[in-house]
Structure 1
Amino acid sequence: MSVPRLTGEGRATALLVSVGAGVAVVFALHAALPPEFAQMIVGPPANFPFTIHAAEWLAFFVGLGELFVRLRSAGSELAELDRNYLPHDRQVALQIGKNLEDYYRRVRESETADVRFLPRLIQRIIRQYHGSRSIDQAHSLLNSSLELFMHEIDLRYSMLRYTAWVIPSLGFIGTVVGIAGALRKAGAIDPTQMADNILGRLTTDLGVAFDTTMLALALSMVLVFLMHLVQGREEAALNRIAQYCTDNLIIRFYKD
């Protein structure tokens, strides 16, 4: 089917756009901020743009791109509810051999039949009921399918969780590298130089080192917060889908 291919292309496009946006923001911050603030946010000018700060920004924007994909996916799942797969008239009963097969065929012929949660769930429940003639078994299948779908949603956030872990890790790496560089400079300084000179040079290097951790923690806090919001939206969409199937499918099964 075409939908999985388009979904993959959309994710690749989001990745490219997010990386491009990250690069643009890094250069914009470097150009717009005063030197002392630019050093804190995007790294020392001598090493720009190849700084730990820039790597943190790029990872952050990659995470934002993935969040955008997940947000669009949640919207697409909710949009399935407007396709009218099932009757909304409370007086309509679903019976094998009368109208149930027609509704199954309508769902099966949808372009999202094997992609989105709602058509997948409707097909499973109808097949189960058609084979067992048991409403209880159909309801049990609904519950077990919801657990699997919830796990499927959670798996989709594995890369985002990794990105949220990578950002502070980059910050700590930057701090370690900065401290190591400051210690190397301290060992190379002539002991006959003024102590104030030595202290000033070391504190500047150490300040840059700790800036990477500060920036990383701030970016990861924002990313994790947004991740929880978007994941909550996906889970809420799944809950609405479950309610839709209960109200318009399970309780409408009718046996002669």
Structure 2
Amino acid sequence: MNRIHRLVAAVLVSPILWGLAGGSAFFALVHAGTLGRDFFPRYCAGHPVNYAETYLFFVGLAVLVLRALEVAAERQRLNRIHLGPAPAGTQSPHEAQELLARLERLPQAWQKDSLVRRLRAGLEYVFRRGSSNGLQEQLAHLADADAERAHAGLGLLRLIVWAIPILGFLGTVIGITMAIASLRPTALEESMTEVTAGLGVAFDTTALALALSIVLMFVQHSVDRAGAALLEEVARRAEEELLGRFPEIDLTGPEAAAVRRLAETMIRSLEQLVRRQAELWQQALDEAQSRWATMAAEAGQQLQSALAGALADTMQVRTRQEAEARRFEETLARLAAAIHLLNARLGEPSRSGILSLERARRTGEAA
């Protein structure tokens, strides 16, 4: 529900909505003939550019009216916003929190007022600092910020004041183009009506744009003056409520000097502690780096030794295998020689027997 309420409130204070509504009501009266049948229909409803200029004028006027109503409401509530009478002497800066709670209890519609924002910011400053030193400069800074905020709040109006004359120049270009396009040299008398109508559009749109811009600028000047007067009154009231209510710390007395010397001593001690800590960290880093380098070197040596040993063992095994292979080859060679010799010896008697049998066979045949 709160979101819906905020949305409805934002719509109700929208200058675009009120400007369009005001422009529509104005044109309803124009077309009904309530405002006359010559002046307003010609200058405000004679061309689409005139409609656009008039609608923009009403939106800008709505911005100014809403701003004027806001300024009037704030001025009316100005004397009803206060922090209460200050006690005898000065208040403790810690009591600023109670004053902030008092501001929070104000109606919700008042929370956006310039004076309420200024007082809240000043009390928060005192509560944070623990004194009112520099409060006047802070209030001056807040006044400048409110002036910039008020200037930025009329950004839409400045855009409209710039856009309306541009639309007038656009209407001038359109009207002159219409007049030139309708000009027929072969029938000058018949085309003069259309030419004058185009020129009328050109002059009417420009005249309307300039007139509406002048009206908006005069109204803006009046609203700006009222807003500036309100901000001056807010600055005066804020100074009355805050300045002198809280104590200031004397920065030139003996107590302040003692505090300053104590602070300087603490700063020097802190600097020495930081330097000592940095040295310890650097020493620890150097030691860790040295240990890491030593460990890396030892690991490298161990790895090298292990690789060298493994390589030596491999070479020994290889040499032993080669020797065994050579012995095996020699054994095979001797065995082959023995077999060859054995075959040779076994083959000689067989051949003698065969020869004897052959001779016997031949002797038998001869007989």
Where on the TM-score scale, by shorter chain, does this alignment land: which range? 0.7 to 0.9
Deviation track 1:41-62 (CA, whole Å, cap 9, x = no partner) reads 1243xx6xxx211111111111
- Asked if 1 retains the 8 angstrom alpha-carbon contact of 2:11 and 2:17, the reply is no
Separation in 2, partners of 1:22, 1:206: 26
Q: CA deviation at 1:94?
A: 4.7
Amino acid at match of 1:210: F
C-alpha spacing 1:37/1:125, structure 2 compared with 1 (3 Å): closer
Match of residue 103 from structure 1: 99
For 1:18, what is the secondary structure of its paired residue? helix
C-alpha spacing 1:97/1:28, structure 2 compared with 1 (3 Å): closer
Aligned residue-pair number:
245
- Asked if 2 retains the 8 angstrom alpha-carbon contact of 1:175 and 1:209, the reply is yes
Separation in 1, partners of 2:20, 2:88: 51
For 2:91, what is the secondary structure of its paired residue? coil
Deviation track 1:162-200 (CA, whole Å, cap 9, x = no partner) reads 0111111111111111111111111xx2x332x344334
For 2:92, what is the secondary structure of its paired residue? coil
Separation in 2, partners of 1:146, 1:201: 58
Q: CA deviation at 1:101?
A: 3.6
Query: Please, which moves more after superposition, 201-210 or 78-87?
Result: 78-87
Match of residue 233 from structure 1: 226
Match of 2:207 among 208, 214, 230: 214
Separation in 2, partners of 1:92, 1:163: 53
Match of residue 39 from structure 2: 37
Higher relative contact order (CA 8 A, sep 6+): 1
Gaps of 5+ in 2: 250-367
CA-atom RMSD in angstroms: 2.8
Deviation track 1:125-156 (CA, whole Å, cap 9, x = no partner) reads 11222332443411111011111111111110
Separation in 2, partners of 1:151, 1:97: 29
Separation in 1, partners of 2:90, 2:6: 31
- Asked if 2 retains the 8 angstrom alpha-carbon contact of 1:40 and 1:208, the reply is no
Gaps of 5+ in 1: none
Separation in 1, partners of 2:203, 2:41: 12
Match of residue 17 from structure 1: 18
| Equivalence map 1:1-256=2 (5 Å) | 7-12=9-14, 14-32=15-33, 36-44=38-46, 51-87=48-84, 89=85, 94-96=90-92, 100-110=96-106, 111=108, 115-186=112-183, 189=184, 191-193=185-187, 195-254=188-247
Query: Please, which moves more after superposition, 3-12 or 74-83?
Result: 3-12
Q: CA deviation at 1:68?
A: 1.9
- Asked if 1 retains the 8 angstrom alpha-carbon contact of 2:44 and 2:208, the reply is no
C-alpha spacing 1:205/1:35, structure 2 compared with 1 (3 Å): farther
For 1:251, what is the secondary structure of its paired residue? coil
C-alpha spacing 1:160/1:172, structure 2 compared with 1 (3 Å): same
Deviation track 1:21-56 (CA, whole Å, cap 9, x = no partner) reads 212212322443665534531243xx6xxx211111
Separation in 1, partners of 2:128, 2:78: 26
For 1:252, what is the secondary structure of its paired residue? coil
- Asked if 2 retains the 8 angstrom alpha-carbon contact of 1:74 and 1:234, the reply is yes
User: Which one has a larger percent helix, Structure 1 or Structure 2?
Assistant: 2
Separation in 2, partners of 1:164, 1:69: 17
For 2:82, what is the secondary structure of its paired residue? coil
Query: What TM-score does the superposition give when structure 2 sets the normalisation length?
Result: 0.59
- Asked if 1 retains the 8 angstrom alpha-carbon contact of 2:91 and 2:246, the reply is yes
Amino acid at match of 1:29: V
- Asked if 1 retains the 8 angstrom alpha-carbon contact of 2:131 and 2:248, the reply is no
Amino acid at match of 1:127: E
The percent identity for this pair of structures is 28
